[in-house]
A and B are shown apart, each in its own frame.
Chain A
Amino acid sequence: MSQIFTKNANTLARASLVAVVLAGGVFGWLIVAVPRSDYITRVDVPRPQPVPFSHKHHAGGMGIDCRYCHTTVETSGFANIPPTKTCMNCHSQLFTNAALLEPVRASFRNDTPLAWTRVHDLPDFVYFDHSIHVSKGVGCATCHGRVDQMPLMYKENTLQMEWCINCHRHPEEFLRPRDQVFNMQYQPPANQIELGRRLVKEYNVAGVQQITSCSTCHR
């Protein structure tokens, strides 16, 4: 009977040791990196929309306040996407012949809703509420980025649990005065931590323990 292991099996065995370590490393890296990659999180990727609605022109250029369209953002969990009627407040007179806006006019004529594609979509097992964040001084731009510079809507942040928790652990790093929540140009001052600590007290922000406990977001 011939030998099962030839001499160079030794080399193979040694090489495979290295290979296992490497493969483990690559695998570990994949586990960590793939779910965070833009391919999975779809950060910075604009989605096709029925009408190329531009926040840059409407909120940035003309300076229309977010609440003109997202009317319930201060009072409810859902920010509201405006009905076609809101567009027609202005577009009954402006760009009335533009082919670009035909879906809006058709929607108004036929009383059928426009079907926007969701850009931010948390899994259904997560509970999120806008009103509490807005009333405790978290700015729209902190989570959604510079919306006033987006020709088409995209996601600025991953919205992954890691990202939520990062702020829930250190809210003082992100809070701003309430009257600046809708201000897109707001820059945090040099003494942010100091200001943040003061605001945490002033706005009665719940303790870290409470807002990092699982049942706050998974209820």
Chain B
Amino acid sequence: MCVAFALVAVTACRQDMQDQPRYKPLAASDFFKDGASARPLVADTVARGQARLDSLLYTGKVDGVVVDQFPFPVTQAVLDRGQERFDIFCSPCHGPLGDGDGMVVRRGFRRPPSYHIDRLRDAPVGHFFDVMTNGFGAMQDYRAQVPVRDRWAIAAYIRALQLSQHATMADVPPAGRATLGRPASSGQESQR
């Protein structure tokens, strides 16, 4: 019996393999003064091949002027990606339709303007990219959370949202007109 208990007591006592002398991502370290194992980049470091020379792609501006064009062609795949990313990062405040009625706003966050006001409908797409990259008033920037190409995809999707909210009968192909306004049709977007 003593041997049995000794065996039980001995199992899993050595943790050397469990906790090896390496760091998992974001693990703490007592070696560096700031307590973090991951080292921040030295200011102004540019990794090889990552110089951000394309000012259109990375800033949405050319010669300091906000652009009204996309740095790459907008395809259906880009729009789908934009919709997915918009729902993740923007809809908590701006709402799924971009009218500024998100869940966080209902809990007391400052209400953003609707995307469907004339000022924002006339704004160049570079403006949306710039707001995401640098923030705007009470809205923080999303530079760290959303990569560059996704930011453009979101901007493209916002344009699509704006069009959808201002669609008129003339935008509907003649074949589809008769089905609009019927109950249980899929014309949700054109109704609001």
Contact = CB atoms under 8 A, between A and B. Distances in A.
Interface of A: 23, 27, 30-31, 34-35, 61-65, 67-68, 71, 78, 80-81, 83, 85-86, 88-90, 92-94, 112-113, 115, 123-125
Nearest to B90: A68
B34 A112 contact: yes
A88 B140 contact: yes
Contacts of A67: 88
Contacts of B36: 113
**Interface residues of chain B: helix, strand, loop or mixed (majority):** loop
B95 to A, nearest CB: 12
A27 B4 contact: yes
B13 to A, nearest CB: 13
25 contacts: A34-B8, A35-B12, A63-B92, A63-B103, A64-B92, A64-B103, A67-B88, A68-B92, A68-B145, A71-B145, A80-B26, A81-B26, A85-B140, A89-B140, A90-B109, A92-B138, A92-B140, A94-B104, A94-B107, A112-B34, A113-B34, A115-B28, A115-B35, A124-B19, A125-B17
Contacts, number: 70
Contacts of B138: 92-93
Interface string B95-115: 000000001100111100000
Contact of B89 (A68, A90, A113): A68
A173 B15 CA distance: 34
Contacts of A94: 104, 107-109
Given A65-B88, A93-B109, A124-B18, A83 B144 contact: yes
Binding site secondary structure of chain A: loop
Contacts of A93: 108-110, 138
A123 B18 contact: yes
Interface in B79-135: 87-89, 92, 103-104, 107-110
Contacts of B17: 123-125
B86 to A, nearest CB: 11
Contact of A125 (B20, B26, B92): B20
A68 B34 contact: no
A65 B104 CA distance: 13
Interface string B28-51: 100000111000000000000000
Given A68-B88, A78-B25, 4 more contacts: A23-B1, A30-B8, A112-B34, A115-B28
A61 B102 CA distance: 12
Contacts of A34: 8
Interface in B32-78: 34-36
A80 B25 CA distance: 8
Contacts of A92: 138, 140
A23 B25 CA distance: 45
B192 interface: no
A197 B146 CA distance: 34
B125 to A, nearest CB: 23
B22 interface: yes
A68 B145 CA distance: 7
A65 B87 CA distance: 8
Contacts of B144: 83, 85-86
B67 to A, nearest CB: 26
